[in-house]
Structure 1
Amino acid sequence: MQVEEKHRDFDTTKVVCTSKELPCSLQESLEKIAQKEGYMNYKILSRSISTEGGNYMAMLYEVDIKGKTTSGEKETNIFIKQSIPEFSLGDVSEIYCRELFFYNEVSKVFTELEDEAKIPADERYKSAKSYRGSNSEAIILQNLAKDGFTTVFRMEVMPLKFAELSIQQLAKFHSLSLVMERRRPEFFEKKIKNLKQLMKFDEVNLDFCKKMFRTSVAILENETRKKLEDKYSQILDKYINYLRGDGTKFKCLCHGDYRMNNILMKMKEGEITEVVPVDYQIILYGSPMVDFVYFIYGATDREFRKNNLDNLKDLYYETMKNYLKYFEMDVNEIYPRKIFEDNIDECLEFGLLALLFLGPFFFADENEVPDLSKDDVAKHEINVDLKFKDRLQEVIQEMIENGRL
């Protein structure tokens, strides 16, 4: 991978900019970060990175600031998500403002609440450090890849340990929303409850949904395909209702895109030891079980669910129960087990809906991933990996046996 350099000597006013990738506004932000980090002179190394089809709404960069401080040599590793110029399925500025809102405000409230409850460091909700240079065009974060974090390839069945650690983080994220609602009621009322689903179901988005649905069902056997096609309007309405949280009585702040590729993992001696959720671009106020089901069905096969789903449900609930104890809150009063079980049961069919409308993105061949800043996604043909057919057929069979289809 070619490394493109930018550097600036702190005692001069001339900026040497050899990389054409990073705009001047980002260069200025990085210089401010360098100054705040105490660099006296430094150079900036930047390189674009690929997620092999795991990201669709940003250009991604790794940046290393290297130089001298009064304490000696120092290196700061940064990860940048730069917004694409246009995004046919939504408002780019609104998407990025929502993620900035998480890092600039929500995460700070989370930290305050955990500090007040004196939660041990290893029991806290994990998120990446954000730098103040972030703006509506780019998110600037700690580069966790330099600390050994990576992702599971988006088409693989997730490892069980990864699933367990990720479910525990999800339970803490949802729990912090419940705590925030009670300990920061004004903030919650004004800034969390109005976080609606960002996707607007206008003509463009409805065309996109139809395109993804047709791509999904085209790989199925004739009888199954016809059955789904005949129910398209009903299936679409259900999908939209889930995204909007219609009919959901129990709500909290949700991640909105809690899938395997949006969770970084760290390994030690072949064992997954830590995970950190990322990508808060579409956080919303909705059903926590949509997050849960979306995560499970997006990256597991039927055998995994048969062997582990019940245990993961128990793990989620027990994690929430134990975590809320730090705040002297009783999960049985806030989210009774019966309501929790009913919520999961009601949301299970979302696992199928998510695959029908988003599966082609999850399983797109790397060379077929559309450029959402250029391509008309309603017309772009996506070739999906053969794994998608097996996964989708398994979920459909599961839904038929459970009386949901």
Structure 2
Amino acid sequence: MGSEAPLEPTEPLAAMTSLDTSKQSNGVEGKPSFGALPQYLHDAVARIAPQEGFTPGQFEVSFEVGSNKGDGFVAEMFRARIVEGNRELVILCKIPPTNDARREQFNTLSIFDREVQAYSLFLPTITEFQREKGITEELGIGFFNTPKCYLAYLDMAKQESAILMDDLRLQNYRMWDKSNPVNFEHARLLMIQLGRLHAVSFALKEQRPDVFEQFKVADPMTAAMTSSEAFMTMMTMSMDRAIGSLEPNEEKVRQKLEKLKSHMFEDMANLTSSKVGEPYSVLGHGDCWINNLMFAYKKGVPTDIVLLDWQICRYVSPVLDLVYFIFSCTDGELRRKHYDELIRIYYGSLKELLDRLGGDATRQFPFTALLRQLKACGKFGLLMAIFIVPLLCIENKDLPDLDAQAEKFKETQQLEMPFVINEQSEAKYRKRMSDVLRDVIRFGYL
């Protein structure tokens, strides 16, 4: 739901040294002035600069906006440019929203806490374990597909957090255009990496149980969402709109969805608990939608993928990552042609790495268990799609100002959703959403 995919690099909008606290405006509508950026962000950049070889007191730092409107909900992104002489380092800085109402609405500090855990504990452990087993980046069969993180910290008492990482656009990684359904080649790359990510969990779980205990973390979002009146209102409105995308003669489908609507918040809580996945629960990415992925290309063909935004990583059924992405980010035509193939690609990737790590996929997670998990948890794909698909079918420029919306809800408890912007986006939404509803039922998940 967040996103850390950056904008294309641009000229700095405002410049200041690492110690400069002067009030300067960035001139960008809807964003705080750079002078209003938290001092802790300035301090964080100044802290990592010497670690990267810059001379204290000799480097300068400039900031610019780092993401587009509509890229995410629970964070703000800025690009920091560190310069000393002819040397330059560009990093992305991710911080909680500077708007108080928006920060409270999405309970962002608890979510940042999880991402700090991911970058400081989970991902380093995954990397180290694979290397100990002889699986290195050069072999191309392990899970190493995350951005380099320079610093990740949270101070709950001070209500501040910052995550500083590589700007992957400078390494020629690009985002997919979210308004278009993902094609097979891009989906295939994700299935391979999810298989590898989950394989490491299975290996660690059996071979290093004491280490893996730290990975058994609860979902950080569901409790916050189901206790948030704003989110529950939004989900109810989204479900009503999804049901409205059906044709008048699809009464049986409509009845199933109305029944789901009556207990969807309980279903969300159940599906995101580890119990439904056991004994196969793993550390999942948690937020597998297209804005949290970046791709490298060769002659127009995607060759590599990086998984961003680990704010919702959690110990749950492995299929939650699969159905979240497939039902939210692909279309009905791709699912009809390739759904089974994508599931098999995922499992083949998981089995290959788990076996190389000294595990046994046929015992630890047989393919029949995967199919049973899909049956038990497949409707999670629908619950996420009713939330994500509307955002994929609306132009970013037509999305609401999240700060203003959060402040209005805090004052009035009224939530405005930009459901119908124009005929084109509405037609796109109705087609994609109604296909999701039909497919979830066709696969026997609802």
Identity, in percent, stands at 24
Partner of 2:222, secondary structure, is coil
> 1:2 & 1:211 partners in 2: Cα distance?
41
Q: Does 1:128 align with 2:143?
A: no
Q: Does 1:118 align with 2:118?
A: no
8 A Cα contact 1:95 1:198, kept in partner: yes
Spell out the pairing of 1:160-239 with structure 2 (5 A cutoff): 160-189=184-213, 191-200=214-223, 201-202=226-227, 204=229, 205-222=231-248, 224=250, 227=255, 228-229=257-258, 231-239=260-268
Deviates more, 1:104-113 or 1:154-163: 154-163
Q: Does 1:59 align with 2:76?
A: yes
Deviates more, 1:57-66 or 1:92-101: 57-66
Q: CA RMSD in A?
A: 2.5
> 1:234 & 1:25 partners in 2: Cα distance?
42
Q: Which of 59, 74, 80 is matched with 2:87 structurally?
A: 74
Q: Which of 96, 114, 137 is matched with 1:83 structurally?
A: 96
Count of residues in correspondence between the two structures: 397
Any stretches of 5+ residues in structure 1 without a counterpart? none
Structure 1 residue 88 displacement after superposition: 4.8
> 1:203 & 1:49 partners in 2: Cα distance?
28
Structure 1 residue 354 displacement after superposition: 2.0
Structure 1 residue 356 displacement after superposition: 2.4
> 2:20 & 2:163 partners in 1: Cα distance?
26
Give the structure 1 partner of residue 379 of structure 2.
Answer: 349
Scaled by the length of structure 2, the TM-score of the pair is: 0.81
Partner of 1:60, secondary structure, is strand
> 2:91 & 2:260 partners in 1: Cα distance?
47
Give the structure 2 partner of residue 4 of structure 1.
Answer: 13
Partner of 1:54, secondary structure, is coil
Q: Does 1:37 align with 2:34?
A: no
Partner of 1:328, secondary structure, is coil
> 1:133 & 1:262 partners in 2: Cα distance?
18
Any stretches of 5+ residues in structure 2 without a counterpart? 1-9, 27-32, 155-159
Structure 1 residue 203 displacement after superposition: 5.3
Give the structure 2 partner of residue 395 of structure 1.
Answer: 436
Structure 1 residue 326 displacement after superposition: 2.3
Spell out the pairing of 1:270-349 with structure 2 (5 A cutoff): 270-349=300-379
8 A Cα contact 2:332 2:436, kept in partner: yes
Deviates more, 1:171-180 or 1:44-53: 44-53
Structure 1 residue 358 displacement after superposition: 3.7
> 1:103 & 1:271 partners in 2: Cα distance?
29
Scaled by the length of structure 1, the TM-score of the pair is: 0.89
| Letter aligned with residue 113 of structure 1 | F
Give the structure 2 partner of residue 381 of structure 1.
Answer: 417
> 1:38 & 1:179 partners in 2: Cα distance?
37
Structure 1 residue 120 displacement after superposition: 3.0
Q: Which of 252, 262, 274 is matched with 2:292 structurally?
A: 262
